[in-house]
């Protein structure tokens, strides 16, 4: 009886497997016969092939930027493919005239370098947009920019660049290539090479590997921050930013790049729109330099240009946003926006 039951179960499992195979085949045929399915599949394959090729060119450019040399092995590791597939990809890119393969490694041709710079420009512009305008967490913008960088046209990139105010760096401090393919080399040093008790300003936070970058963000490190190494050993670096201390392993600290900090000149605190009370008016002096992209352009379009008189008209019930009278119109600004508008010549109770 036990044997008959086992045979019955085996038969049923075989029938179910056969049914699954038949249904899967029918589904594939149905999808294939749908209008445009073949074209969509072809477009998907072309898009994947393009993304893989562009990622390969970016890897070569990154190696050359570090004065290193890419190899088939390094390419396979970066793209997560087999060495055999990497070799086939190299042959395809070489046939396109985008790279050359030598005994010393892989090198970009001038055409390949231009294409790589175009992809890098797209990636860094999208990171700027995602950080400044979409308000995505800094730890999430890299992956999203990776997805968007391959679907682009030159016209779209130029429009995005103009809308963002032609930013020079991405949120990590990397320079953004120009439309002409120029990429500025900036002299900076890893924090692990910096001398003790010497002020340094952070100009770049390496965003790869992601786990290390997440740790740096969680520690509160950011561009423009001034730090000083107060203790260094093979096991750890102890830093101070003037307010609090940080202890990092050298492998983590090596992802922080710095330049010498010029001696600070004491400047009086400048009032902002956010510091004014209802009824006060003032003259716009300038916008904070950290204000970039669509937000900066919107404030300028609203009339908040140097020399403009602005009056605090009213506050909302919860205090944010606040209504300001600008050039005869009422404009509502969030506190964080108003705090980026520096003013002078503050007067009481006039011009409402």
The string of DSSP letters for 87-125 reads HHHHHHHHHTTSEEEETTEEEE-HHHHHHHHHHHHHHHH
Distance, in Å, from the CA atom of 37 to the CA atom of 132, rounded to the nearest integer, reads: 38
Contact in structure between 281 and 350 (CB atoms under 8 Å): yes
Q: Is the pLDDT of residue 33 over 60?
A: no
Per-residue CA distances from 83 to 77, 99, 129, 140 (Å): 8, 17, 36, 30
> How far apart are the C-alpha atoms of 352 and 350, rounded to whole Å?
6
Say which residue, 201 or 153, is predicted with more confidence. Answer: 201
What average pLDDT score do residues 147-152 get?
Answer: 87
Q: What is the pLDDT of residue 317?
A: 76
Distance CA 28, CA 171 (A): 44
Lowest mean pLDDT among 5-9, 46-50, 236-240: 5-9
Q: Where are the alpha helices (DSSP H) in 276-315?
A: 293-301
Q: How far apart are CA 27 and CA 30, in angstroms?
A: 5
pLDDT, residue 181, reads 86
CA–CA distance from 311 to each of 271, 274, 287, 306 (Å)?
Answer: 14, 12, 17, 14
- Residue 194: Cβ within 10 Å count: 22
Q: Please report which confidence band the pLDDT of residue 46 belongs to, taking 50, 70 and 90 as the band edges.
A: confident
With bands split at pLDDT 50, 70 and 90, how would you rate the model's confidence at 352? very low
Residue 101: Cβ-neighbour burial (10 angstroms; 0-12, 13-18, 19+)? middle
pLDDT, residue 38, reads: 64
The kind and range of the H/E element at 230 are: strand 226-232
Q: Which residue in 104, 116, 37 sits closest to 67, CA to CA?
A: 104
Structure tokens, 231: 């203790």
Q: Are 284 and 310 in contact (CB under 8 A)?
A: yes
Q: What is the pLDDT of residue 303?
A: 87
Question: Which 3 state secondary structure label does DSSP give 145?
Answer: helix
Report the sign of the C-alpha dihedral through residues 256, 260, 264, 269, in that order. negative
Cβ neighbors of 326 (< 8 A, separation 6 or more) are 302, 303, 304, 308, 310
pLDDT digits (tens, 9 = 90+) for 1-10: 445 555 555 5
Q: Cα(92)–Cα(99) distance, rounded to whole angstroms?
A: 9
Give the torsion sign (CA, 254, 126, 155, 58).
Answer: positive
Phi, psi angle pair for 170, to nearest 5°: -85, 175
pLDDT (tens digit per residue) in 56-98: 999 999 999 888 889 999 999 999 999 999 999 999 999 999 9
- Whether residue 209 is preceded by a cis peptide bond, meaning omega within 30 degrees of 0, is yes
- d(C-alpha 284, C-alpha 303), whole Å: 10
């Amino acid at each position: 009886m036990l044997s008959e039951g086992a045979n019955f179960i085996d038969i049923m499992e075989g029938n179910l497997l056969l049914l699954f195979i038949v249904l899967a085949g029918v589904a594939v045929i149905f999808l294939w016969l749908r209008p445009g399915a073949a074209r969509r599949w072809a477009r998907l394959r072309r898009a994947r092939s393009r993304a893989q090729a562009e990622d390969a060119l970016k890897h070569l450019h990154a190696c050359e930027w570090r004065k290193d040399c890419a190899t088939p092995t390094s390419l396979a590791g970066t793209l997560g493919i087999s060495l055999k597939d990497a070799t086939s990809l190299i042959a395809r890119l070489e046939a396109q005239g985008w790279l050359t393969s030598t005994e010393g490694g892989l090198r970009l041709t001038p055409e390949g370098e231009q294409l790589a710079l175009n992809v890098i420009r797209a990636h860094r512009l999208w990171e700027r947009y995602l950080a400044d305008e979409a308000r995505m967490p800094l730890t999430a913008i890299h992956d999203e920019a990776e997805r968007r960088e391959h679907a682009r046209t030159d016209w779209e990139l130029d429009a995005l660049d103009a809308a963002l105010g032609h930013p020079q760096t991405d949120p990590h401090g990397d320079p953004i290539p120009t439309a002409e393919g120029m990429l500025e080399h900036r002299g900076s040093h890893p924090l692990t090479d910096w001398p003790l008790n010497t002020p340094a300003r952070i100009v770049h936070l390496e965003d790869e590997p992601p786990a290390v970058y997440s740790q740096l963000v969680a520690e509160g490190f950011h561009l423009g921050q001034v730090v000083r190494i107060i203790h260094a050993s093979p096991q750890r670096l102890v830093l101070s930013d003037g307010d609090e201390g940080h202890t990092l392993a050298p492998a983590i600290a090596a992802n922080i790049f710095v330049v010498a900090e010029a001696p600070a000149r004491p400047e009086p605190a400048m009032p902002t729109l956010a510091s004014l009370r209802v009824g006060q008016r003032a003259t716009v002096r300038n916008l904070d330099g950290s204000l970039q992209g669509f937000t900066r352009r919107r404030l300028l379009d609203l009339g908040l240009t140097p020399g403009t008189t602005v009056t605090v008209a009213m506050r909302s019930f919860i205090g944010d946003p606040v209504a300001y009278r600008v050039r005869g119109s009422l404009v509502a600004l969030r506190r964080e926006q108003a705090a980026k508008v520096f003013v002078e010549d503050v007067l009481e109770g006039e011009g409402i």
